[in-house]
Each structure stands twice: as structure tokens, then as C-alpha cells.
Chains A and B, each alone.
Chain A
């Protein structure tokens, strides 16, 4: 206890130095938490945007569909399968889709398009498709009409209430042909989706492709998106070899790659930040050791064991670094929560570019407690590693040399 008291007194022997050290650690913790929180927040938001656009967090297909995306690899809608999927506690909802390509035509124009048969109500729960209607109305499951993406409609010079003709290949080589009134026009941020997509009620699409009762995929949304891999693993186990389970990361590897690349860039930024922290802390440690050189030599000379002196200096370092870390975390908690509720908003052209792609033009902060924990632990670890320098100096301390003037 007396050693602890002595360490405490030593910490405050030079108030300015201690406050500078603590401030360096304090700001380091805040900056690293803020940087990581914004990074994770932006990535999570990006995933949310991309995933809720179209893919869902997890998809279930018939085994082999992902490698050969044809209607012959579709499967029958089954209550048994649905209930096996929904048995997983992390699945919040699911919807079935029947997807295929066909030629779309208006009076004089033709264009290849992606036809997606959907359950309009369930689809809306996962991808908020209804919110993307910019003209006309959203479809119902019993409708015999379709929704057209804005780009495709423009290309074919079609508008609401016009008729579109579809021609393609159906299930098991059957001919798929039909003409349908346009009930609404959708606008997507993604140019890819916006230029070529047509949505129709699932029964209508099954009729077009003669894939009665079939779908090509189940789209799932999750309660806890962090448990993506665990959920997918559990589904694979439950559904068996007849079905394949794909996460959004597998469906859209380019997005995952983008996040990985950005994370790597952030790693370098954080590395520079941590390096600055190192210099800040190390500078004060060097000053402290030089200032106390005589005293440390004297303590060993009068009989203080080096091991005890090391413990004393470690207590001082740990207390200083710990206090800085705790203060940093305490201040960063309300700051990060504020930024979560009031995210930083992009302005001007950047905002327009984001919104054009259907992304929210915001920098939200993540409040994942792991960020607070990890970043404070990293800074604490840096402080503790740097505390090894005094340990090294004490091990090599020669009282006679230390007490030389």
C-alpha cells in the first residue's frame, strides 16, 4: 500500500508533465475510438444500404444455383423449408424471389432485363421496395401488372399504364412470353439495378416462366447482423446439402473487398495515430527518467531492491496511462452516442453523389462497445509496453553512475 501511495505522490510531483501525458493518452483514446467508430459506422451503413437494396443479408438457393443461375436450378416453395429457416432465432423475416432474364420490348425498342418475381408485401419488409416508387403505384400479389425501373422505362420509352412485352426462356426450356401493364416506375441508386430491372408479383412471374410454385431464392434479413457467419453456418447445417446458403459477403465480394481495402487504409491512419501516442508517452518517460536519475540511484544505494523500484515505476505508468484511458473512454461515450443520433452529414456534391447511388449521405458512428474496449486496451498496451523502458533502465541502473553529477 505504501508503494502505491508513493507512486501516487510521484505521479503528481510534476503536475504539468503528468497532465501532458494523461492528455496525450486521453486525446489518443478519443481519436482512436472516434476514428474506429466512424469507420465501423460508415461500413455498417454501407452494408445496410447495399444489403437492403437488393441482396438481403443471407440468401438460400437450391444447391448449384449460384454457379449456374438458371431457372432449372429453382426450387419449390415449401412451408417446411420456410419454417426450418425461421426456426433460426436470428432470422427476422424472409421472402421468396423468382429471378431470370428476358427480352423486354416496347413498340419499337428491345432491351434485355432482369425479371424478379416477388411477394410485394414481404419484399417491402426487407428491401423497402415500395419507397422506391417514383411514379404510379406499388404492386400487390394478385396484380397482373409490373414495376419498371426508371432507366429501363426510359430506354424503352415507357411510362405508367403502358404495356411491356417480355420474351424469354422459361422453366425446363419452355417459352416465356407475355405482355403486362406497367403499374409503377421505381428509382434505384445503383445504376446497374436502375437500368435493367422489372418487378412483378411472384405468381405472375411463375406463370410467365412456367415455373409454377417455384422460386430461385429466399432472401433473409437478420436481427443481429454481426452474427452473419454464425447464422449462415447454422442454416447450412439445418437445411442440408440440397440447399446453398450465401451471405451478402459471398454474393457481393466487391463490397467486402472495398470495406477490406478501406479498413487497411484506416489501419495506416491508426498506426500513425498510435505512433504519435508512442512518441508523446515516451517523451515524458524519458524526461521523467532523466529528472529522477539521481534519486533512483540513491534509492538503490540505500537498499531499495530493483524489483521493488520496477514495481513502483510500473504502478506510476499504469496509473497515468489508465487514468488517461478511462477519461478518454468516459468522454468519448457521450460524444459517439451524440454522433450516432446526429450523424455527420455530407454536403454539396459529395452528398449528391452518395444519394445518386442510393446511399445515405451521412457519417454515422458505431456504438459497438468493442470499439471502446479495444481502443482503450490498445492505448493501455502501448503505455505498458513503453513502461518497459524504465524497467530496462532500472535493470541496468548503476547507483554510482546515476548519482554522478
Chain B
């Protein structure tokens, strides 16, 4: 197996000078390529903080985080931005897309930042919109898309740079059942067919049900880490 995320003794402390509060407390996390993992726990358990640190948006106070073997805690702020661009795809809970750009331009945007040639960009955009079943919505502005469609475009954008993994923070929180199901179908298919690694932070049982590994955080600590689902089980879920 190929290790994508490797977090060692990671802690994040707030109010260090007064009464320290551990948002994440001595967490060890190891994710292999192709995993489809849900990070669950009650509000304030440290899911988003851990996700932010893994995504290089926040720095841990203690410990190290290795992405594909590189310790991102040692990178400068600028280097981290470049690292995120090339290695990590993000799907946020809402307001993911740039409102003035069309769906296609939103996806293309990441590749423009990477200075990918137009011809290659076009080919990749077409492939991604096919994968998210939105070929007919290429030229629509986000305001003309439903919440579910916007999240699918966000997934396409996250995939555009061919990242090491995708971090999705509550991606289904604002979606109705059908849209959430569609989105999860797409992400599960991408995971299965293209071996893309997904790490979700979620409360949503629908996401937890689809995950092949569920990590439970409580008070900043991992209290449970269950890998239960086989590939065949996943396929069953997909067909259901």
C-alpha cells in the first residue's frame, strides 16, 4: 500500500497562555491511497481542526504531518499554498465556487493556477464533467446550479489538479437527500474507479454509511478507528 497521509502526535492547543484547550490532542492518523474515510464526532470534537491541519490550512502546535512523505509542518506559508494547489483537493460545505465564473471556468481555474496548457485543460475539463454527469452544465454560472450540482462541480474542481487526496468538510450538509446521494455516488465511483483518496469530516449518516473507514474523534482524540467495509460491500452500497 501507498501512504498518502501520515500524522504523528498531532496536537492543536488554544488558549495556551491561560487555560489550554486541546482541539486536537496527540492524534496519530495514517491513510493509504484509495481510502474512503469519514472523520466523525460531535461538534467541537476537532474534526475540522484536524482536517485543516492535514490540508495545510493550519499548523499543529505539536507533531508532524507527512503528505506523500513530505512533512508539511515545515513548509512556509507560501510553499504551503503551492503544496495545496498541487497535492490537495478541497470540497467545502458551501459557497465553494467562484460566482463570476462558469462551472467550466471554475474547474479550469485550478489548472490555470498550475499553468496547464489550454488544450490539456479542455481535455481534463471534459473528462471531469463527464465523470460528474454535468456535461450539459459546463457554461452555467453557479447561481444557475442547484446546491447538489454546485458540490459536484466543486468535486470536479478538487480533482482538476490530480491531487494526492481530497478533503471534504461536511460536503453534504446543505444538500437534500437525492443530491447528497448523487454526490456520494460520484465520489464513491471516483474512489473505486480512479483510486482517489477521500477524507470527509461529517455528521451525516449517509456519508458514514458509504465510508470504508470511520474514525471517531471526541475531545480532540481518536476514540475509534474502524475499517469495516469490503470492496464488495462498497459495490453493494453503490448499487443501492
| Complex Cα gap A295–B94 (Å) | 11
| Complex Cα gap A10–B98 (Å) | 10
Q: Does A299 touch B at the CB level, under 8 Å?
A: yes
| Complex Cα gap A170–B223 (Å) | 118
Contact yes or no, B82 A303, CB < 8 A: yes
Contact yes or no, B99 A305, CB < 8 A: no
Q: A9-B100, A295-B98 are in contact. Are A303 and B58 (CB under 8 A)?
A: no
Which residue of B has the minimal Cβ distance to A9? B100
- Expressed in whole angstroms, the minimum distance between the Cβ of A129 and any Cβ of chain B is 70
Give the residues in chain B near A400, CB-CB below 8 Å.
Answer: 52, 57-58
Contact yes or no, B81 A300, CB < 8 A: yes
| Complex Cα gap A380–B100 (Å) | 26
Q: Does A330 touch B at the CB level, under 8 Å?
A: no
Contacting residue for A10 out of B96, B100, B157, CB 8 A: B100
Which residue of A has the minimal Cβ distance to B88? A303
Number of A-B contacts (CB under 8 A): 54
Q: A305-B82, A399-B57, A400-B52 are in contact. Are A6 and B113 (CB under 8 A)?
A: no
- Expressed in whole angstroms, the minimum distance between the Cβ of A296 and any Cβ of chain B is 10
- Expressed in whole angstroms, the minimum distance between the Cβ of A309 and any Cβ of chain B is 10
Q: Does A298 touch B at the CB level, under 8 Å?
A: yes
Contact yes or no, A303 B96, CB < 8 A: no
- Residues 148-168 of B contacting A (Cβ, < 8 Å): 157-158, 161
Q: Does A236 touch B at the CB level, under 8 Å?
A: no
Give the residues in chain A near B84, CB-CB below 8 Å.
Answer: 301-303
Contact yes or no, A299 B98, CB < 8 A: yes
Dominant secondary structure at the A interface: helix
Contact yes or no, B101 A6, CB < 8 A: yes
- Expressed in whole angstroms, the minimum distance between the Cβ of B47 and any Cβ of chain A is 14
Which residue of B has the minimal Cβ distance to A13? B100
Q: Does B214 touch A at the CB level, under 8 Å?
A: no
Q: Does B92 touch A at the CB level, under 8 Å?
A: yes
| Complex Cα gap A10–B112 (Å) | 17
- Expressed in whole angstroms, the minimum distance between the Cβ of A281 and any Cβ of chain B is 21
Contact yes or no, A298 B92, CB < 8 A: yes
Q: Does B187 touch A at the CB level, under 8 Å?
A: no
Contact yes or no, B100 A303, CB < 8 A: no
Contact yes or no, A301 B82, CB < 8 A: no
Give the residues in chain A near B99, CB-CB below 8 Å.
Answer: 13, 295
Q: A298-B92, A303-B161 are in contact. Are A2 and B112 (CB under 8 A)?
A: yes
Fill in one digit per residue for B93-129: 1 if any A CB lies within 8 Å of its CB, else 0.
0011011110000000010110000000000000000
| Complex Cα gap A385–B89 (Å) | 36
Give the residues in chain A near B36, CB-CB below 8 Å.
Answer: none
- Expressed in whole angstroms, the minimum distance between the Cβ of A122 and any Cβ of chain B is 71
| Complex Cα gap A301–B26 (Å) | 25
- Expressed in whole angstroms, the minimum distance between the Cβ of A196 and any Cβ of chain B is 75
Which residue of A has the minimal Cβ distance to B96? A298
Q: A300-B81, A301-B57, A400-B52 are in contact. Are A294 and B161 (CB under 8 A)?
A: no
Which residue of B has the minimal Cβ distance to A305? B81
Give the residues in chain B near A304, CB-CB below 8 Å.
Answer: 81, 85, 113
- Residues 198-238 of B contacting A (Cβ, < 8 Å): none
Q: Does B78 touch A at the CB level, under 8 Å?
A: yes
Contact yes or no, B86 A303, CB < 8 A: yes
| Complex Cα gap A303–B116 (Å) | 14
- Residues 273-323 of A contacting B (Cβ, < 8 Å): 294-295, 298-306, 308
Contact yes or no, A302 B101, CB < 8 A: no
Give the residues in chain B near A154, CB-CB below 8 Å.
Answer: none
| Complex Cα gap A403–B55 (Å) | 14
Fill in one digit per residue for A12-23: 1 if any B CB lies within 8 Å of its CB, else 0.
110000000000
Q: A10-B100, A399-B57 are in contact. Are A303 and B81 (CB under 8 A)?
A: yes
Q: A295-B95, A306-B81, A403-B92 are in contact. Are A301 and B55 (CB under 8 A)?
A: yes
Give the residues in chain A near B100, CB-CB below 8 Å.
Answer: 6, 9-10, 12-13
- Expressed in whole angstroms, the minimum distance between the Cβ of B35 and any Cβ of chain A is 22
- Expressed in whole angstroms, the minimum distance between the Cβ of B56 and any Cβ of chain A is 9
Q: Which of A299, A302, A403 has the most CB of B within 10 A?
A: A302
Give the residues in chain B near A299, CB-CB below 8 Å.
Answer: 98
Contacting residue for B110 out of A6, A294, A295, A303, CB 8 A: A303
- What are 25 residue pairs bridging A and B, where the CB atoms are less than 8 Å apart in the complex? A6-B98, A6-B101, A10-B100, A12-B100, A13-B100, A294-B95, A298-B92, A299-B98, A300-B81, A301-B90, A302-B90, A302-B157, A302-B158, A303-B81, A303-B84, A303-B86, A303-B88, A304-B81, A304-B85, A305-B81, A305-B82, A305-B113, A306-B78, A400-B52, A400-B57
Residues of A near any B CB (own CB < 8 A): 2, 6, 9-10, 12-13, 294-295, 298-306, 308, 399-400, 403
- In order of increasing CB-CB distance, the 9 nearest A-B pairs are A303-B85, A9-B100, A303-B84, A13-B100, A2-B112, A302-B90, A400-B57, A305-B81, A399-B57
Given A298-B95, A303-B84; 20 other pairs, CB 8 A cutoff: A2-B112, A6-B98, A6-B101, A9-B101, A10-B100, A13-B100, A294-B95, A295-B95, A298-B92, A298-B96, A302-B85, A302-B157, A303-B82, A304-B81, A304-B85, A305-B78, A305-B113, A306-B81, A400-B57, A403-B92
